[in-house]
Chains A and B, each alone.
Chain A
Amino acid sequence: MEALMRGAHRATRWCTWFGGALILLAAFLIGIDVVLRKFFSTSIGGADELAGYALAIATAWSLAAALLARAHIRIDSLYGLLPLRLRLLLDFLGLALFIGYFGLIARHGWNVVLQSWHAGSRSQSALQIPTVIPQAIWILGLALFVIIGALLFAHALRLVLRGRSGEATRAVSTRSTQEDVAEEVRDVEARRSLESGLR
């Protein structure tokens, strides 16, 4: 199970690289489009459409990374005051609802993909892309999220059942704001030490 979770962490990291690269590519495509339009009165045509697909795909494929990094926002005003056991119970509730809700989206999203497939629908722009292609990649990302979410749930539950609640907390509880900030600080300081090292 531990090996599986490590694998999940590594996989989601690759997914963020993939998503980030798509976003960067979209930025370049749009940038070129703006320049062409302004100075050469021409256009790639459909750059906005492709950027939209990039956003949908990058988002879906990165949801799991955000989940494992516990980056999804939770309001912890009351939660922070509760005893640890109750918090852990809420962690499982929150995780289950999150997976359930996006599972529902994936389930109904699948119908959207099927519909595009059967109707053979193409995008409105000059590109005439069969919409089923970006939609299929999108839905795969959502499916991956649901699988990794379920894996995380099972992993944390297993830890609790073995009496290792502390580790379970680290896997599924909110990152307290403190913890969040500590990370931001580490980030900035790492950069600074790198900087001073270069000087």
Chain B
Amino acid sequence: MIWTAVGILLVVLALAVPVAAGLGVLGLALSEIYSKLPLTLAIGEMSWATSNNFLLVAIPFFVLLGEILLRSGIAERMYNALVLWVPWLPGGLMHSNIAACAMFASTSGSSVATAATIGTVAMGEIRKHGYSERLFLGTIAAGGTLGILIPPSINMIVYGVLTDSSIPQLYLAGIIPGLVLATLFSLTILVICLIWPQLGGRRTGATWTQRIRALPDLLPPLVIFLAVIGSIYAGWATATESAALGVIAALAVAALRRKLTLRMLGQAFEGTMRTSAMIMAILIAAYFLNFVITSIGLTTQVNRYVTQLGLTPAQLFVAVVVFYLVLGMFMETLSMMVATVPIVAPIMIKAGFDPVWFGVLIVILLETAMITPPVGINLYVVQGLRSRGRIDDVIVGAAPFVLTMLLMIAALWFWPALALWIPGLVRG
């Protein structure tokens, strides 16, 4: 049964069947082959239930929030302010890139949006200050991945819904690992630039007056972060409610900057609904598939199979990490998550791993997948922004940060508290 399922999945995905249809077809096929009951009859009811699931309402909210921010120009101002504050370290503006990505990530639930937004603003600085192009591009591709680790995070919502774990807890669990990973990225840049100073570009200076005057430009992202994560931390709002507050805060910021027009809103709606419909189509199919694989006992069988292998938790951990690293080279991250998490998460939880901790681990593995070739969405985003040269430059530039991410994964293994400390405080 396991191999039939894996076989069908590989075939439909390799044939480039749209992921939503592929997962759905797999569900139908498995139900046809292995189920005595006609599970297909439940497909209408299940699709309706998934479609109006209140937890999932957070997804279009965060996509809309991102679309509004993208069109309100706060990213440029934020970046320019951070440039004044960070560049005295060896590596200069590359640290600003990481800081800007981390800050933008605290308002955005998507890594692609983070890399694209910060990338556009930062790209012009490479030549101006004589940076190594490759490493500079790498900092944007890698920094951008923080989008899904630092809350809010669309991938965490999907993980929470797939595994029935608390989305607010996942958000809170992402904060420290997100900050640690950003710091590690900066350290990576620092070490590289200490060894090869020629990569680090020319220093730029800034006066304290300039610095202070730029501070208000950092406010809008902070306001949105406080609305979204503050309301969760204070216990005022659930994950979806906090997303709604984020949308309202973003609209307010756009209105204050006089960017809020009907035309802008129309464009934001188009972008939002295209992306949201795509994500929802996958989730609707995935729910039915999950229902089928649970009903026919596939989950239990995989569980039994893995238990028979008699792996220690450490071996299991390494196996899962390697599995996702390899899969992540070839698969787009949302599809990878939806196809694997319903099977892998129960195994890990049964082996005694905390579901929230595992969620953070999965998100970091997804981040790695975004900058490992041949399929790494952030590599393509950054290459697309520069529209010259070869993608190899971005791949080489991002490579050191893959090692940094592996270091982060190891840290998460040795100090689970990195992820679990803040959620523990709130749980009381």
Contacts and interface: CB of A to CB of B under 8 A. Distances in A.
Q: Do A and B share a complex?
A: yes
Interface of A: 13, 15-17, 19-21, 23-24, 26-31, 33-34, 38, 48-49, 51-56, 58-60, 62-63, 65-66, 69, 71-79, 87, 90-91, 93-95, 97-98, 100-102, 104-105, 107-112, 134-135, 138, 174, 177-178, 180-182, 184-185, 187-189, 191-192, 195
Contacts of B277: 19, 58-59, 62-63, 65-66, 71
Interface in B226-267: 231, 236-237, 240-241, 243-245, 247-248, 265-266
A191 to B, nearest CB: 6
A28 B166 CA distance: 24
B21 A94 contact: yes
B4 interface: no
B274 interface: yes
Contacts of B48: 56, 109, 112, 135, 138
B37 interface: no
A195 B43 CA distance: 48
Contact of A74 (B16, B40, B273): B16
Interface in B1-49: 12-22, 24-25, 28, 40-41, 43-45, 47-48
Contact of B54 (A20, A52, A97, A180): A52
A48 B15 contact: no
Interface string B359-383: 0000000000000001101001101
B16 A63 contact: no
13 contacts: A19-B269, A20-B272, A23-B60, A27-B243, A52-B54, A55-B51, A58-B276, A66-B274, A98-B17, A178-B384, A180-B380, A184-B381, A192-B120
Contact of A188 (B41, B70, B268): B70
B117 interface: yes
Nearest to A72: B18
**Majority SS of interface residues in chain A?**
helix
A77 B375 contact: yes
A54 B56 CA distance: 11
A58 B53 contact: no
Contact of B244 (A31, A56, A93, A104): A31
B133 interface: no
A106 to B, nearest CB: 8
User: Which of B22, B231, B243: most chain A Cβ within 10 A?
Assistant: B22
A-B interface, 5 closest residue pairs, ranked by CB to CB distance from nearest: A20-B269, A181-B384, A108-B44, A56-B51, A52-B52
B275 interface: yes
B274 A65 contact: yes
Given A138-B51, A187-B70, A191-B70, A58 B15 contact: no
Contacts of B120: 185, 188-189, 192
Contacts, number: 252
B330 interface: yes
A155 B92 CA distance: 54
A69 B255 CA distance: 29
Contact of A105 (B44, B73, B270, B330): B44
Contacts of A134: 52
B209 interface: no
A181 B119 CA distance: 12
Given A98-B21, A108-B47, A185-B120, 11 more contacts: A16-B274, A56-B51, A65-B277, A66-B275, A75-B331, A77-B375, A90-B15, A94-B15, A109-B44, A134-B52, A182-B384
A184 B275 CA distance: 13
B54 A16 contact: no
A75 B330 CA distance: 8
A5 B42 CA distance: 34
A182 to B, nearest CB: 6
User: Which of B20, B57, B271: most chain A Cβ within 10 A?
Assistant: B57
A23 B51 contact: no
A94 B71 contact: no
A93 B57 contact: no
A90 B43 CA distance: 26
A24 B243 CA distance: 11
A55 B278 contact: no
Contacts of A187: 70, 271
